[in-house]
């Protein structure tokens, strides 16, 4: 049975003291919650605050993730961070191929595949982001774009490694806009992604891989999105910066 994952992507937000305060408030907010065994709660702070946040969540249910990584293990790559480094500060997850990485930092589908490969090699679970632009959706290209992104990201990735991955369907037009995709659109895209994974591997493998939704998910819409078949959690940007909102989303995931 696949896990549910609620991951907070803090992006380039917080500072030393506010990252600690946010982590503490989330830990506090979740203390009394009955979370069950199949729910993974992940915080993805900016690189520099990962160890600090790690200290605050130590011993609890929350796990650490990073927002990206380089696929090279080490070397002359100024400004980059490797998977091995992330493991050494207790990250369990890494977001790969976020649309902001793809559009602002020119990460190609193939770069995403290299990162997926490097992440699983060091024992990090990649959360692979895919999703179409508004223009692509309006032209009826959602399936074509998402299929290309999923197939390329998993190209050459063996079945056992694929089982460590999660996919996040994040339509770009819904990210940070306050306009979430409708539960129907989300259910359709997730079903389609699961179909593709089933074709690459087997339907059984596809059943075991969590598919998350991301794009303006918040305390108000989380329950209705998470209630849809095939939606196995969320990748939360803006709402993850507010402890009460993030805790509500976790609660919605735990109680479905
Ligand atoms: P958002 O971001 O929740 O602020 O829309 C989601 C994401 O980019 O992962």
Please report, to the nearest 10 degrees, the dihedral formed by the alpha carbons of residues 17, 86, 115, 109 taken in order.
Answer: 0
SS3 222: helix
What pLDDT, on a 0 to 100 scale, did the predictor assign at position 229?
Answer: 94
Query: Does the annotation mark 98 as catalytic?
Result: yes
- If one counts the domains in the chain, the total is 1
Burial (CB < 10 A; 0-12, 13-18, 19+), residue 185, is middle
What pLDDT, on a 0 to 100 scale, did the predictor assign at position 33?
Answer: 87
pLDDT tens digits for range 9-25: 999 999 999 999 999 99
Query: Does the annotation mark 170 as catalytic?
Result: yes
- For residue 200, what pLDDT band results from cuts at 50, 70 and 90? very high
Range of the domain at 226: 4-254
pLDDT tens digits for range 168-183: 999 999 999 999 899 9
Q: Which residues line ligand 1 (CB under 6 A)?
A: 9, 170, 175-176, 214-217, 235-239
Looking at the DSSP assignment, which residues form a beta bridge with residue 63? 42
CATH of the domain at 58: 3.20.20.70
**Ligand 1: which of 95, 102, 170 to mutate, judged by most atoms within 8 Å of the beta carbon?**
170
Residue 32: pLDDT above 90? no
What pLDDT, on a 0 to 100 scale, did the predictor assign at position 231?
Answer: 97
Helix (H) or strand (E) holding 234: strand 233-236
Residue 68: pLDDT above 90? yes
Residue 34: pLDDT above 90? no
**Ligand 1: which of 176, 179, 220, 239 to mutate, judged by most atoms within 8 Å of the beta carbon?**
176
By the 8 A CB rule, do 184 and 215 touch?
A: no
């Amino acid at each position: 049975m696949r896990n549910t994952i609620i991951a907070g992507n803090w992006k380039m937000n917080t500072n030393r003291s506010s990252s600690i305060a946010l982590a503490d408030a989330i830990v506090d907010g979740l203390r009394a919650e009955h979370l069950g065994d199949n729910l993974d709660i992940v915080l993805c702070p900016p690189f520099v605050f990962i160890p600090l946040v790690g200290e605050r969540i130590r011993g609890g249910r929350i796990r650490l993730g990073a927002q990206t990584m380089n696929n090279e293990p080490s070397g002359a790559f100024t400004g980059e961070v490797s998977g091995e480094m992330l493991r050494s500060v207790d990250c369990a997850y890494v977001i790969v191929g976020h649309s902001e990485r793809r559009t602002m930092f020119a990460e190609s589908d193939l770069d995403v595949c290299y990162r997926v490969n490097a992440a699983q090699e060091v024992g990090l679970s990649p959360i692979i982001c895919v999703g179409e632009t508004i223009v692509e959706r309006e032209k009826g290209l959602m399936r074509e774009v998402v299929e290309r992104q999923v197939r390329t990201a998993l190209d050459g990735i063996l079945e056992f490694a694929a089982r460590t991955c999660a996919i996040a369907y994040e339509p770009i037009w819904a990210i940070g806009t306050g306009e979430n995709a409708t539960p129907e659109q989300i259910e359709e895209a997730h079903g389609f992604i699961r179909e593709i994974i089933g074709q690459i591997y087997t339907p059984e493998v596809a059943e075991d891989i969590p598919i998350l939704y991301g794009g303006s998910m918040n305390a108000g819409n989380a329950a209705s999105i998470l209630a849809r078949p095939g939606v196995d959690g969320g990748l939360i940007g803006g709402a993850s910066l507010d402890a009460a909102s993030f805790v509500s989303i976790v609660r919605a995931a735990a109680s479905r």
